[in-house]
Amino acid sequence: MTPSVPIPSSAAARTILYREALNEALREEMLRDPSVFLRGEGIAERGGSYKVTVGLLSEFGPRRVIDTPISEASFVGAGVGAAIAGMRPVVEILFVDFALLAMDQICNQAAKFKFMTGGKGRVTLVIRTQGGAGNGLAAQHSQSLEALFYHIPGLKVAVPSDPFDAKGLLKAAIRLDDPVIFLEHKSLYMTSGEVPVGEYVLELGEGRIRREGRHATVIAWSNMVARCLAAADRLAGQGIEVEVVDPRTLVPLDLDLILRSVKKTEHVVIVQEAVRRGGVASDIAARIQAEAFDYLDAPIEIVAGLDTPIPFNLNLEKACVPQEDEVIRAVKRAVYAT
Amino acid sequence: MLSRYPSEFLACLYRTLYTIRRFETHCIQLYRDGLIRGYFHPYLGEEAIATGACAALRPTDFITSTHRGHGHCIARGAELRPMVAELLGRATGYCRGLGGSMHIADVGAGNLGANGIVGGGVPIGVGAGLASKLRGDDRVTVIFLSDGAVNNGVFCESLNLAATWSLPVIFFVENNQYAVSTPIEQATREPELYRRGAAFGVFAEQVDGNDVLAVYERVQTACEACRQRSGPVLLEAKTYRHGGHHVNDPGAYMPKDRLDYYRSIDPVERGRRTLREAGMPEDEILRLEAEADEAMQDAVEYAKASPEMTTAEFLAIVEAY
């Protein structure tokens, strides 16, 4: 699907931040391909609200890195048009909540152009944005909206959970000939992880086992992965070995990897930060029970956000999104260890 | 004034005007015969706009179009066979029968697509202009839009973006005076739509949308401005539909005297008269028309004989989604 560059196995790695990994991906792809350019609110001089585009204006100049007016529908649409005309724009939407202002261009234009033209048109566009709760940003700046994009055929959806995936997936997304919704998480920008020194590109649709285990499969993405890994550590102390599966992209979804793990552990917990109703977790659960019903030893547990707008109050915000303890309780229910 | 144009050029314009007219009348009949399904928004009465505008473009330039897009496709050089085939939903159509009337695109030929969403193509055209600016080429993009689209937010956003970034883009408002059935006077206090350009620092002017040469000249000038990095430009062409919003809309809300007036300045008839006045003999015009009729007939037969995509072929495409 994506031209994949092998990951240098023995290459030296260093520890960098999620936002630095994204910055490296943008920089490398801009050096590699002159048709890559960036548009977004406050991305140039300011370097982006989360510092992802720091230094790119001075390196690549004001033609390729430019601030846009607050006109989401049109600057996203301009990305669609530039892509159709042969460029590879990376458009940043400050918060995924603001993507709602551009949904015609995303869902009716970008997602459908290739299809509507009988496969002849290409929308080589990446829309980078960030979502999730975490800092008391309240109802219009904290949502997890991956299900909206997951629902629309024609869009790819990436949900990287650490610096390694963030870099490798962003590079893959930029090189892909289809529109990609690249969903970062505001709580991840300042987290760190090992990233190889040399170049690598990941494959969209290839999930990753983040921790091996034999008693239960926990499926999580984005900011929920670290929370599930922490829960898995605590559960290991109680004799429950959890396998943590990070699909890394929701579209395409690495169902094979998920099913292999499910068939091994026979107990499943799916964890999503987004609200429960109409979420991706529900769909993954449906697909698992359709494909691996005979292997399941317990009902699939879903741990999800409450069906509510995110409150401003920090304690209440915390109550709305899955916490480590809830994951632990769900795993125990799934393996009948309560 | 007419002597400025060689009769070959005028004949070219007339062939396009006439072809669009015949395309629409033929296809409306196919629609009434049940061979074309879905929505069909005829370009009848507006032929001079697409024809004049596209005649001013170079092969490398871009256009974006609207739901009423057949005229733009033809004027931009689309082939009739795959066009009719697309309207009939056949596998030999421009979009293999997956797009239909509202989604014909031919990126290679500079047509970035019709659009089912009013205003949907406007930011896309801005993006094409942005691509030209970034590449440093001298392509111009003409964004065809309607008086309906100017009251959608993306028009203001896009005009502002194109102005702020000095993009080589022509916003061409085809003011046919109705958004579906709502008259422009009921949709805005300022129905002289070109006046909106001033608010964005964009040069704007109005043109008679039923006069193909006037349209050609304005777009020619606007193109020069764009190629000299003085874009964008906003043009407004006043025109009128010859019928309702789509084939099944009788347009009962359109006052008869107004319709009669605009029919009296029919752009296709005017193009023909211009050609006669430039000295082309009647029999040559008749021959030109006969050739266009034949090409249209050929396209219809081709489309009718074309296969549809099989469900199995379609499911293979769906796999990728």
Q: Do the strands A36-40 and A65-67 form a parallel or antiparallel pair, or are they unpaired?
A: parallel
Instruction: Indicate the average pLDDT of chain B.
Output: 96
Q: What is the CATH number of the domain that holds A278?
A: 3.40.50.920
Does one domain contain both A228 and A176?
A: no
Q: Are strands A36-40 and A13-17 parallel, antiparallel or unpaired?
A: unpaired
**Mutation target among B124, B145, B166, B171 for the A interface, most CBs of A within 10 A:** B124
Please give the angle made by the CA atoms of A42, A43 and A44, to the nearest 5 degrees. Answer: 100
Residue A290 at interface with chain B, using a CB cutoff of 8 Å = no
Contacts of A306 (CB under 8 A, 6+ apart): A275, A276, A319, A320
Residue type at position B297: Q
- Distance (Å) from the alpha carbon of A181 to chain B's nearest alpha carbon: 14
Residue B128 has pLDDT above 90, yes or no: yes
Integer Cα distance of A223 and A274 in angstroms = 11
- Percent of chain B scored above 70 by pLDDT? 99
What lies within 8 Å, CB to CB, of B64 at 6+ separation is: A81, B112, B113, B115, B121, B122, B124, B125, B128, B141, B142, B143, B144
A160 and A303 part of one domain: no
Q: What is the pLDDT of residue B1?
A: 47
Q: Specify the CATH number for the domain of residue A115.
A: 3.40.50.970
Q: CB–CB of A63 and B134 under 8 A?
A: yes
Q: Which of A79, A117, A119 lies nearest to residue B113, judging by beta carbons? A: A117
Do A223 and A164 lie in one domain? The reply is no
* Ramachandran bin of B178, using left for φ above 0, alpha for ψ from -120 to 50, beta for the remaining angles: beta
Q: Is A141 annotated as catalytic?
A: yes
From B195's Cα to the closest Cα of chain A, the distance in A is 21
Q: Which of A283, A277, A201, A216 is nearest to A250 (CA)?
A: A283
Active-site position among A141, A185, A215, A267 = A141
Rounded-to-5 percentages of helix, strand, coil across chain A: 40, 20, 40
> Do A192 and A218 belong together in one domain?
no
Note the pLDDT tens digit of each residue in A72-120.
999 999 999 999 999 999 999 999 999 999 999 999 999 999 999 999 9
A85 contacts in chain B (CB < 8 Å): 62, 107, 112, 127-128, 131-132
Q: Is residue A5 part of a domain?
A: no
Q: Which residues pair with A182 in a beta bridge?
A: A128, A158
Which of A153, A170, A196 delimits the end of a domain?
Answer: A196
Residues in chain B with CB shorter than 8 Å from the CB of A62 are none
Name the β-bridge partners of A288. Answer: none
Question: Is residue A185 annotated as a catalytic residue, yes or no?
Answer: no
Q: What pLDDT score was predicted for residue A1? A: 47
- pLDDT > 50? residue B160: yes
Last residue of a domain, one of A161, A196, A231: A196
B contacts of A109 (beta carbons < 8 Å) = 115, 117, 120, 124
Interface contacts (A, B; CB < 8 Å) = 136
Q: Taking every pair of C-alpha atoms in chain A, what is the biggest distance, in angstroms? A: 59
Q: Is residue A184 part of a domain?
A: yes
Cis peptide before A34 (omega within 30 of 0): no
Look at residue B2 and tell me whether its pLDDT is greater than 60: no
On whether residue A201 sits in a domain, the answer given is no
**CATH label of the domain that carries residue B267:** 3.40.50.970
State whether A33 and A145 are in the same domain: yes
Q: Give the best residue of A35, A36, A76, A84 to mutate against chain B (max B CB count within 10 A).
A: A84
pLDDT at B84 over 90: yes
Residues in chain A: 338
**A212 and A266 inside one domain:** yes
Instruction: Write down the ipTM of this complex.
Output: 0.88
| List of chain B residues whose C-beta atoms are within 8 Å of the C-beta of residue A40 | none
- pLDDT average, residue stretch B66-86: 97
A311 upstream amide cis, omega within 30 of 0: no
B45 touches chain A (CB under 8 A): no
**Cβ within 8 Å, pair A82-B128:** yes
Share of chain B above pLDDT 90, in %: 98
Domain assignment present for A6: no
Whether residues A145 and A110 fall in one domain: yes
Q: In sequence order, what are the residues at sequence separation of 6 or more whose Cβ sits closer than 8 angstroms to the Cβ of residue B20?
A: B43, B47, B50, B51, B70, B71, B74, B75
- The single residue listed with the structure tokens 């960030």 is A130
Helices (H), B6-152: 7-32, 47-55, 70-75, 80-87, 121-135
CB contact under 8 A, A116 and B132: no
Same domain as A232, residue A309: yes
Residue B124 has pLDDT above 80, yes or no: yes
pLDDT tens for the 338 residues of chain A, in order: 445 666 666 568 999 999 999 999 999 999 999 999 999 999 999 999 999 999 999 999 999 999 999 999 999 999 999 999 999 999 999 999 999 999 999 999 999 999 999 999 999 999 999 999 988 899 999 999 999 999 999 999 999 999 999 999 999 999 999 999 999 999 999 999 999 999 999 999 999 999 999 999 999 999 999 999 999 999 999 999 999 999 999 999 999 999 999 999 999 999 999 999 999 999 999 999 999 999 999 999 999 999 999 999 899 999 999 999 999 999 999 999 87
Q: What per-residue confidence (pLDDT) applies to A54?
A: 97
Element (H, E) at B204: strand B203-208
CB contact under 8 A, A121 and B107: yes
Q: What is the pLDDT of residue B321?
A: 87
pTM of the full structure: 0.92
Q: Which of A73, A83, A84 sits opposite B154 (nearest CB)?
A: A73
> How many independent structural domains does chain A possess?
2
Check pLDDT > 80 for residue B42. Answer: yes
Instruction: Quickly count: other Cβ atoms within 10 Å of residue B249's Cβ.
Output: 15
**Is the domain of A132 the same as that of A19?**
yes
In a domain, A2, yes or no: no
Please indicate if any CB of chain B lies within 8 Å of the CB of A140.
no
- The number of beta carbons lying within 10 Å of the beta carbon of residue A155 is 24
Segment B282-289 shows an average pLDDT of 97
Instruction: Provide the strand spans (E) within A153-205.
Output: 156-158, 180-185, 192-196
**Is residue A4 in a domain?**
no
Which residues on A lie below 8 Å from B123 (Cβ)? 73-78, 80-81, 105
Of all residues in chain B, the one with the smallest CA distance to A151 is B321
Which residue of A69, A121, A153 is in closest CB contact with B164?
A69
- Name the CA radius of gyration of chain A, rounded: 20
Number of compact structural domains in chain B: 1
A53/A33 Cα distance (integer angstroms): 17
Which domain range does residue B258 map to? Answer: 2-318
Q: Is the same domain home to A180 and A32? A: yes
A115: contact with B, CB 8 A cutoff: yes
The pLDDT score that the predictor gives to residue B310 is 95
The count of other CB atoms within 10 Å of the CB of residue B201 is 11
- For A139-154, give one letter per residue: b (16+ CB within 10 A) or e: eebbbbbbbbbbebeb
Do A29 and A79 belong together in one domain?
yes
Burial class (CB within 10 angstroms; exposed 0-12, middle 13-18, buried 19+) of A100: middle
Which residues constitute the domain of residue A84? 13-196
pLDDT of residue B226: 98
Is residue B99 within 8 angstroms of chain A, CB to CB? yes
Q: Are residues A234 and A179 in the same domain?
A: no
**Out of A41, A72, A266, A317, which one is annotated catalytic?**
A72
